[in-house]
Amino acid sequence: MVGNDMMKWLKRLPLMHFVEALIACRAAKKRGKSPVLYFLLTQVFGVFVLVPLLRKPKVGTRKG
């Protein structure tokens, strides 16, 4: 039973990383960063790259 659940997660992991990488690619473009670099980094490291990227301000926006 536990092995089955683990296999389901391992099968879903590449799809989740791909979706995260697409989000990172778009976010990097809006922040003036290299979309390809962030796509690849997110494919490998996942949310650990995506969250700090999303916290950066977008190009052309001001605070206040």
CA distance 21 to 12: 14
pLDDT in tens, 28-49: 999 999 999 999 999 999 999 9
- Express as a percent the part of the chain with pLDDT over 90: 66
57 φψ region: left (φ > 0), alpha (ψ -120 to 50), beta (else): beta
Per-residue burial over 9-34, b = 16 or more CB atoms within 10 Å of its CB, e = otherwise: eeeeeeeebeebbebbbebbebbebe
**Would you say residue 1 has pLDDT above 80?**
no
Name the more confident of 22 and 60: 22
